[in-house]
Structure 1
Amino acid sequence: MPGVPCGALQHHTVPVACAIICSWLLILVHSAFCQKPAKLPLVGRKPFLAAWNAPLDMCKLKYNINVSLDLFQISGSPRAVHTGQNVTIFYANRLGYYPFYNEQGVPINGGLPQNSSLEAHLHKARKDIAHFIPSEDFRGLAVIDWEFWRPQWDRNWNKKYIYRQRSSELIAQAYLNVTDKQVEELARLRFEKSAKEFMQGTLKLGTQTRPHGLWGFYLYPDCHNYNVHAHDYNGTCPQQEIKRNDQLFWLWNSSTALFPALAIRKGHMDSIHNLHFSQNRVLESLRLASLTSLPYELPTYVYTRLGYRDEAMAFLTQEDLIHTIGESAALGAAGFVIWGDLNLTSSRHNCSKVKAFLNHRLGQYITNVTQAAEICSDLLCQSHGRCVRRDPQAPHYLHLSRGSYRILSNRNGTFTVTRQPSKNERQMLADKFRCHCYQGYEGERCDSIEPEEIEEDNMINEDVEKEKKPEVNKDIQDSAVPLQKAFILTILLLLLNFSSI
């Protein structure tokens, strides 16, 4: 049906109709040209957070091997015996009555979301949240790990195809004289509606009961760029998958953080395929983070591993640490989470291997990238924003300059950074990175303050004495900013003129 121009409506509806249209157009223009501010960091002014989510406590209990986690600002073991942790992961059996089919095809909690009681699930989930996160003032990561089905019908393939089959069977049993096409369409509608209600309702419960925590689903968003064996692989998210991610607006709008995952394969060790795989997954998460109705971009915390997806105890090389953790930092993620299971602690040898990796290669790299991110934030953004690559595909990383910094290993598993700042360090960073300001700050250097918009209550206090920050070169400008403002003003004037017709 063709649209009706504002001028063709009755006279008394013109101002209202045009005002609505103009308001939406202005929102679209603003979203397209003005980046939302970043949410304040979870810990102090740490622009790139290091988090741990693996059961290393078993090394101490079983083998008396103590592994220091001082590198990480927040940590938590995924073992069910632990509660009250800053990183809490909810597996399928730990949060309410999550419906799914087990490996033998047996339905658990009804098997399908449309065949399970949402009310009973939320009642149980409320108790589970109170158990695993007893503090109502919780200020950490709350990650829901539901992997048996996906909320979109078309994404339930391979082992997940059972959810389409069983959903169709339910409809076929309930209705007579319907075609196969009608059965599938009804099954799709009911499955997707119920899946949405389960996921959205669970997030709503979490954000209501523990409002200062950052809630989201593990593996969401997913770029589905898994065809890494293709000869011409460049990691780009398929257009169909980008469209499907856009259709999950309700999920991003209900979350308070995004948790994409970077699990790379040993078969592509040190390969540019690993770089392309990681880069595009992080970029897709950052894209979706800005589409919500919230006044800030959702923080992205990238899940990664010590080892490769197909060989857990073969730990990442230096190059692949850059391809995962380093790439995430340079693109503007809020942090990373290292996940692991009980395989890491299944033997004395494995525990010793994990400890050695943390005390050397991994520990040195985490120190390097987190310190570099903090220094860049200090120098370019007054500690009021995080540094982000000007060109997302450029090979620029937040790494300490070898000529100016040294990373020294300490006996207790920690690291010390010695510094001899270079005179042109600030300009070198400014050429490659820009600032993404936190809430309450704006400007090229995040030096324009709006105190009423700062949400200090969402931060974990950190008892670290801040050094005096050097002044940033006032000549560092980006000519795109005034051009964008001029464009928006022009659009505004045109819209106002249109509404007066």
Structure 2
Amino acid sequence: FLYFIEARMRAPASLSLLVAVVVAAGVPFDGPAPYRPWANYWCRDPVCEPSQYGIGAQNRTRTGGGDFANSSHRWSEGAFPRVLEDGRVLNGGIPQRANLTYHVERLEAGIGDWLPDVDWELHAVIDFEAWTPVWENNDGGSCNWHGKIYQELSLNYTRARFPHITNESVIAALAQEEFEDAAIEFFVTTMTVLKRLRPKAQWGFYGFPYAVNGECVTGTRKCGYENPTFGPAWRARNDRLARIWNNVDAYYPSVYLVPQGRTHYDVWELEMSTRTRNAVNEAIRLSRTYSASKAAPVLPFYWPLYHNGSTPVDAHDLRQLIAEAYVPPLSTQLIIWDGGPALGGK
């Protein structure tokens, strides 16, 4: 069974979903978006019962450290190195200084709480966002999301170990190399261990590959990965993570929509629609290039709210997102993050 969605907004504070059930049985369907086959999976503990909308229940997806449905309990997702907002350093702070053995031990100790069913066959998604294995993408202002602090700590760590190197360009290159090597090893080991512990699950990382914002060629739909100037460099960054793509079972990019803000609507719509398409198509490229089967599925994460966390996504923008995210045969499923709180139980 596959499903398609029509979402209707009656007011900014309310959201209702009308979902029709379609039996696809493998038959191609090429109708206009959003009237296409679509498999939906709910990802948070909802106030309402999602099955009344024809949406697969939460027990199809586990994401991050929470998810308490069906006897599932919080866990730490191992012991990823990171820095907290209060300055505390966990497991070395950066992957070069981390204890990978301790991380593996924490994964083994916690998996039974988070995913008690050893025969789990559906989506299991690690959500770690403090830093990403791509050095250049760690340019954020917060230590909780792709923080630049992880570059700074890496540079200091390299300077301290090689005081005789005074050329900062050499230090930067060495710090990047050491950071990425250790970061990739951390992610690959995480997948290897979890696939051993729950071999039937569809393992992957939330937000991978990274969805590029903007970077559009003026007057065109060539943005992000499709930008002829910047796109090759962005794709090359992902190619450096080949070992990670070799080891995941599925790709889980995020296609959340940011609020319009001050941008003129048609410009914002272009950027958001191309951002969705870019993230999905890049995941498909990586799947066909690096996954063991050359056909690992792509399941974008969608949030019913804009990224300000309070405004429901309106019907037009939802249809646009679905149209861009539906790219058969690999991207034919959508994971809806957040349930009852976002929908207000409606």
Provide the C-alpha distance between the structure 1 equivalents of 2:98 and 2:134, rounded to a whole number of angstroms: 18
- 2:41 is aligned to 51
- 1:398 is aligned to none
- 2:310 is aligned to 313
Asked whether 1:190 is paired with 2:178, we answer yes
Residue 240 of structure 1 aligns with an amino acid whose one-letter code is A
Asked whether 1:258 is paired with 2:251, we answer yes
Report the Cα offset of residue 95 of structure 1: 1.1
Q: Is the 8 A contact 2:42 2:58 kept in 1?
A: yes
Q: 1:82 aligns with which of 56, 68, 71?
A: 68
Report the Cα offset of residue 74 of structure 1: 4.0
Q: Report the secondary structure of 1:290's partner residue.
A: helix
- 1:291 is aligned to 289
Cα distance per residue 1:155-213 (max 9 Å; x no partner): 21132211111111112222231122332232222211111111000001111111111
Q: 1:304 aligns with which of 297, 302, 305?
A: 302
Q: What TM-score, normalized by structure 2, do the two folds share?
A: 0.75
Q: 1:177 to 1:68 in 2, by over 3 A?
A: closer
Q: 2:126 aligns with which of 133, 144, 161?
A: 144
192-201 or 265-274, which moves further after superposition? 265-274
Report the Cα offset of residue 323 of structure 1: 1.5
Matches within 5 A, 1:211-226: 211-226=199-214
Q: Report the secondary structure of 2:189's partner residue.
A: helix
Q: 1:330 to 1:177 in 2, by over 3 A?
A: closer
- 1:124 is aligned to 106
Instruction: Mark the runs of 5 or more structure 1 residues left unpaired by the alignment.
Output: 1-43, 60-65, 357-501
Q: Report the secondary structure of 2:51's partner residue.
A: coil
Q: 1:234 to 1:203 in 2, by over 3 A?
A: same
Q: Report the secondary structure of 1:326's partner residue.
A: helix
Asked whether 1:170 is paired with 2:157, we answer yes
Structure number having the greater helix percentage:
1
- 2:137 is aligned to 155
Q: 1:199 to 1:330 in 2, by over 3 A?
A: closer
Residue 56 of structure 2 aligns with an amino acid whose one-letter code is Q
Q: 1:140 to 1:193 in 2, by over 3 A?
A: same
Provide the C-alpha distance between the structure 2 equivalents of 1:89 and 1:204, rounded to a whole number of angstroms: 22
Instruction: Mark the runs of 5 or more structure 2 residues left unpaired by the alignment.
Output: 1-23, 27-36, 142-146, 226-230
Residue 49 of structure 1 aligns with an amino acid whose one-letter code is A
Cα distance per residue 1:217-262 (max 9 Å; x no partner): 1000124234479775643412210111122111111100000111
Report the Cα offset of residue 143 of structure 1: 0.5
Q: Report the secondary structure of 2:153's partner residue.
A: helix
Report the Cα offset of residue 89 of structure 1: 11
Cα distance per residue 1:99-118 (max 9 Å; x no partner): 11122343122211111110
Q: Is the 8 A contact 2:135 2:176 kept in 1?
A: yes
Residue 171 of structure 1 aligns with an amino acid whose one-letter code is T
Provide the C-alpha distance between the structure 1 equivalents of 2:161 and 2:139, rounded to a whole number of angstroms: 24
Report the Cα offset of residue 55 of structure 1: 3.0
Report the Cα offset of residue 330 of structure 1: 4.4
Cα distance per residue 1:113-168 (max 9 Å; x no partner): 11111001101101211221111111111101111111122221132211111111
Q: What TM-score, normalized by structure 1, do the two folds share?
A: 0.53
Residue 276 of structure 1 aligns with an amino acid whose one-letter code is T
Matches within 5 A, 1:332-351: 332=329, 333-340=331-338, 345=341
Q: Report the secondary structure of 2:310's partner residue.
A: strand
Provide the C-alpha distance between the structure 1 equivalents of 2:293 and 2:336, rounded to a whole number of angstroms: 29
Q: Report the secondary structure of 1:337's partner residue.
A: strand
Q: 1:178 to 1:330 in 2, by over 3 A?
A: closer
Aligned residues: percent identity?
A: 23
Asked whether 1:104 is paired with 2:92, we answer no
Work out the number of aligned pairs and report it.
293
- 2:15 is aligned to none
Q: Is the 8 A contact 2:45 2:69 kept in 1?
A: no
Q: Is the 8 A contact 2:45 2:58 kept in 1?
A: no
Cα distance per residue 1:314-357 (max 9 Å; x no partner): 2222221222223322454131111128xx53xxxx6xx5333x
Matches within 5 A, 1:324-335: 324-332=321-329, 333-335=331-333
Q: Is the 8 A contact 1:84 1:133 kept in 2?
A: no
Q: 1:182 to 1:274 in 2, by over 3 A?
A: closer
Q: Is the 8 A contact 2:81 2:95 kept in 1?
A: yes
Q: 1:295 to 1:336 in 2, by over 3 A?
A: same
- Provide the alpha-carbon RMSD of the alignment: 3.0
Provide the C-alpha distance between the structure 2 equivalents of 1:104 and 1:230, rounded to a whole number of angstroms: 42
Quick check: which has more Rg, 1 or 2? Answer: 1
Q: 1:89 to 1:246 in 2, by over 3 A?
A: farther
Provide the C-alpha distance between the structure 2 equivalents of 1:295 and 1:338, rounded to a whole number of angstroms: 26
- 1:240 is aligned to 233
Provide the C-alpha distance between the structure 2 equivalents of 1:83 and 1:197, rounded to a whole number of angstroms: 31
Report the Cα offset of residue 83 of structure 1: 5.5
Provide the C-alpha distance between the structure 2 equivalents of 1:316 and 1:213, rounded to a whole number of angstroms: 31
Report the Cα offset of residue 96 of structure 1: 1.0
Q: Is the 8 A contact 2:216 2:224 kept in 1?
A: no
Provide the C-alpha distance between the structure 2 equivalents of 1:55 and 1:128, rounded to a whole number of angstroms: 20
Q: 1:331 to 1:265 in 2, by over 3 A?
A: farther
Provide the C-alpha distance between the structure 2 equivalents of 1:177 and 1:82, rounded to a whole number of angstroms: 52
Provide the C-alpha distance between the structure 2 equivalents of 1:296 and 1:45, rounded to a whole number of angstroms: 23
Residue 55 of structure 1 aligns with an amino acid whose one-letter code is D
Q: 2:56 aligns with which of 73, 90, 93?
A: 73
Provide the C-alpha distance between the structure 2 equivalents of 1:239 and 1:188, rounded to a whole number of angstroms: 20
